[in-house]
Structure 1
Amino acid sequence: MDSVVQTPAHRPTVTLMVREGCGSCVRVRDQIAPVCAEMGAGLEVVDVDSSRATAVEFGDRVPVVLVDDEEIACWEIDDEELVEALSAAQQVG
Structure 2
Amino acid sequence: MARLTLMVRAGCRLCDLAKEAMARVERRTGEAWTEVDVTGDAELEDEYGLRVPVVLLDGREHGYWKVEEDRLERDLASRPAPSAGS
Q: CA RMSD in A?
A: 1.8
Query: Which of 20, 40, 60 is residue 10 of structure 2 equivalent to?
Result: 20
**Cα distance in 2, alignment partners of residues 44 and 92 from structure 1:** 16
Alignment check: 8 A CA contact 1:72 1:85 kept: no
SS state at 1:76 partner: coil
TM-score, length-normalised on structure 2? Answer: 0.82
Query: Which of 9, 22, 25 is residue 35 of structure 1 equivalent to?
Result: 25
Query: Which of 55, 59, 72 is residue 69 of structure 1 equivalent to?
Result: 59
TM-score, length-normalised on structure 1? Answer: 0.77
Unaligned runs of 5+ in 1: 1-10
> Does residue 78 in structure 1 map to residue 55 in structure 2?
no
Aligned residues: 82
**Cα distance in 1, alignment partners of residues 40 and 4 from structure 2:** 18
Which string of whole-angstrom CA distances, capped at 9 and with x for unpartnered residues, describes residues 38-80 of structure 1?
Answer: 2121210100114221111112110000111111111012211
**Cα distance in 1, alignment partners of residues 2 and 78 from structure 2:** 10
The more displaced of 30-39 and 63-72 is: 30-39
Percent identity among equivalent residues? 33
* Residue 39 of structure 2: aligned partner: 49
Instruction: Describe the shift of the 1:59–1:43 C-alpha distance in structure 2 as closer, same or farther (beyond 3 A).
Output: same
Unaligned runs of 5+ in 2: none
**Cα distance in 2, alignment partners of residues 60 and 20 from structure 1:** 13
Alignment check: 8 A CA contact 1:15 1:44 kept: yes
